[in-house]
Structure 1
Amino acid sequence: MAKLICAFLFMLVTSFVIQDVYAGGEGSLKPAECAPKCDYRCSKTAYKKACLTYCNLCCAKCLCVPSGTYGNKEECPCYNNWKNKKGGPKCP
């Protein structure tokens, strides 16, 4: 009986940990949701390929993409604060 209770508690704790991982640290997107969000985010830029590359990279790390096609980065601090080697913004 004790083994059954231990197994149940282990499964319960594990499910909470898994939910926290999928909830993300900052954003709540799942990696599969990044592509459509980035497609919209980059829809009006002249540099679509570069924008999509960096947007998807940033989304995979931050699990968040700001709303709109430009600006609104304050919605996603991780996305906003990630800088390139020169100190400029990494995420579009």
Structure 2
Amino acid sequence: MALSKLVMASLLLSLFVLQLAQADYSPQSIGTFLLSKTNFSDCGSACKARCQLSSRPNLCHRACGTCCRRCSCVPPGTAGNYDKCQCYATLTTHGGRRKCP
């Protein structure tokens, strides 16, 4: 019993260390990180900036908020820049269209 708990704890710890090791914190990526990664509390302001030129701002803001909460990032600018937040770019609707504005 104690051995299985030890194995489980070491497995969880190794997964955590692996996750940290895979993070890319090069100087060039820090700028991209600051532009695209947001905290959940920043989703509102990031989506407001993203949707400011939208012809349907309420719909844009709602879709952007959903994508931001799922991905914890919003690409910079009002359109495009999907390469800055890959998760945001890959979310699609049931019809196969891009979900995130």
TM-score with structure 2 setting the length: 0.64
CA distance in 2, matches of 1:87, 1:47: 20
Partners of 1:74 and 1:29 lie apart in 2 by: 15
For residue 87 of structure 1, report the CA deviation from its aligned partner: 0.5
Which residue is 2:92 aligned to?
A: 83
Name the residue aligned to 2:63: 54
Residue by residue, what CA displacement relative to the aligned partner does 1:29-81 show, whole Å, maximum 9, x if unpaired? 21101000000000001110000000000000000000000110111110000
**Equivalent residue number for residue 32 of structure 1:** 41
Amino acid at match of 1:82: L
Q: What is the RMSD of the two structures over their aligned residues, measured on CA atoms?
A: 2.2
Task: Say which SS state the counterpart of residue 45 (structure 2) adopts.
Answer: helix
Identity %: 35
Q: Note closer, same or farther for the CA distance 1:85–1:73 as it changes in structure 2 (3 Å cut).
A: same
What SS is found at the alignment partner of 1:91?
Answer: coil
Give the direction of change, closer, same or farther, for the CA distance of 1:42–1:31 in structure 2 (3 Å limit).
same
Q: Please list every run of 5 or more consecutive structure 2 residues that lacks an aligned counterpart in the other structure.
A: 1-12, 21-32
Q: Give structure 1 stretches of 5+ with no counterpart.
A: 1-12, 21-25
After the TM superposition, which parts of structure 1 deviate over 6 Å for at least 4 consecutive aligned residues?
none
Q: Is the 8 A contact 2:91 2:98 kept in 1?
A: yes
